[in-house]
Amino acid sequence: MSDRFKFRRRLRCDCGHECWERLDLNATPALSKLDEPCKCHTAVDIISGWEQCTGIKDKNGKLIYECDILKLYIKGKWRGICCVKWMHDEWMHTWQEVFDDKPEDSHRPPKKLWRNNDCSFEIIGNIHENGNLLDSAREQS
Ligand SMILES: [Zn+2]
Ligand SMILES: [Zn+2]
């Protein structure tokens, strides 16, 4: 799936402005562009590594990337918030549930990012912009 060859990384320039740099290895030549750069965009700091696209879309049709924070639904019911991880030894994306209707079971080990029809996801942020979403889910659970 060609979407798997898309990557992003988070940048911050001197004025404090942040944006994503996007890389598409499928384009020839490989294409790199910035999402909404500001006017100055000077002395840019790289604040994340390259994050890969899973090739999977959320329920609104948005592509899911590594480090995205997702709402997880099973059979249409909200079941938790998860963060997309990359397990390099298995070359697959996983998720970690941090909120559940069973509080004693709220820190499950990472699992394969499901693609079956019972399961759907909604992107609600990512760990760079909205890391507090994971903390607040832990506090609620
Ligand atoms: Zn700037
Ligand atoms: Zn900038």
Answer yes or no: do 132 and 85 share one domain: yes
Number of domains composing the chain: 2
Distance (angstroms) between ligand 2 centre and the Cα of 111 equals 36
68 with 35, same domain: the answer is no
Q: Is the pLDDT of residue 85 over 50?
A: yes
Residues 81 and 135 occupy one common structural domain: yes
| Same domain, residue pair 26 and 95 | no
pLDDT over threshold 50, residue 124: yes
**CA 133 – ligand 2 centroid, Å:** 25
Mean pLDDT over residues 98-125, rounded?
A: 66
Q: To 5 degrees, how large is the angle CA 41–CA 44–CA 48?
A: 125
Residue 38, domain extent: 2-46
Are 65 and 134 found together in one domain?
Answer: yes
Are 68 and 90 found together in one domain?
A: yes
Cα-to-centroid distance, 93 and ligand 1 (Å): 33
CATH of the domain at 126: 2.30.30.290
The per-residue pLDDT for range 19-68, each reduced to its tens digit, is: 999 999 988 888 899 999 999 999 999 999 999 998 889 999 999 999 99
Which ligand is nearest the CA of 37, by number?
Answer: 2
pTM: 0.81
**Cα–Cα dist 25/119, whole Å:** 29
Q: How far is the CA of 8 from the centre of ligand 2 (A)?
A: 16
Count of alpha carbons within 13 Å of 118, Cβ hemisphere only? 4
